[in-house]
Amino acid sequence: MPNVLNISAYKFVPSPDADALRDTLLARAKDLQLKGTILLAEEGINLFLAGPALAVRDFVAQLQQDPRFADMAPKESWSPTQPFRKMLVKVKREIIRMDHPAIRPVDGRAPAVTAQTLKRWLDAGVDDHGRPVVLLDTRNGFEVDEGTFEGAIDWRLDKFSDFPQALLAHRAELKDKTVVSFCTGGIRCEKAAIFMREHDLPDTYQLEGGILKYLEETGGVHYRGNCFVFDERRTVDARLDPQPNPSCPA
């Protein structure tokens, strides 16, 4: 029975103390014998951790004692083995690289739709106002190849920093539609949705919690295939169970 708890979480919140926070979080994670990756930047935190459930939840509880992170609610899944080789905590320029410094979720995020709301829209074929709904996959092409929503737009991105130029090239195709941007856990589509709304696409939303939250809450209705994750599990299915032998590169 799987006994390794995997969590992912992020938050855009001013973190000018990222360097000091790196040392604190690395020591804490090592004390709890956790493995994974934590990215810190002035704009916030992005983390992927795995280990015994008690240790992982202890780490989260301690992190939530910092008022900035009190409302973080990590997404959980299980695996039979540890999917990370080491524990890394890095300070970066961005916790998810877009190369557009003016896009700052800390100053206000784009509206979000929940997994259940998106399922209802997809069931009906339109949003609550009768507008056609377009799903936009903001992930890299090799991730999309493992699975995505039925009919989702895929611009075959090589990296997320390619997204702004792709959006400008295809913006006309999205006019007068309700656009829901999505990604694995929510962090990329959070920046993507802001960028789209700032470029004359006012009816743009982000999928709250990304694909992982959608699979957890809906069982994967309207989603086809698996979901790529950036650890040694490689992909998870609609039950968030690891899947063997995926075809895409590391």
Enzyme catalytic residues = 183
Backbone angles phi, psi at 79, to 5 degrees: -145, 155
Q: Which tokens go with 171?
A: 């913006």
Rounded CA separation 183/246 (Å): 19
Q: What is the pLDDT of residue 230?
A: 87
Q: How far apart are the first and last CA of the chain?
A: 26
Q: What is the pLDDT of residue 247?
A: 45
Q: How, if at all, do strands 178-182 and 204-207 pair?
A: parallel
Half-sphere exposure of 39 (CA within 13 A, CB side): 15
Q: If phi over 0 gives left and psi between -120 and 50 gives alpha, with beta otherwise, what is residue 43?
A: alpha
Give the chain's domains with CATH numbers. Answer: 4-91 (3.30.70.100), 105-236 (3.40.250.10)
Q: What is the pLDDT of residue 245?
A: 52
Q: If phi over 0 gives left and psi between -120 and 50 gives alpha, with beta otherwise, what is residue 147?
A: left
Q: What is the pLDDT of residue 1?
A: 66
Rounded CA separation 56/47 (Å): 12
Mean pLDDT by 10 residues, the chain (250 residues): 91 96 98 98 97 98 98 93 96 96 92 97 95 96 97 98 97 95 96 96 96 95 95 90 59
pLDDT in tens, 205-232: 999 999 999 999 999 999 999 999 988 8
Which amino acid does the sequence have at 240?
L
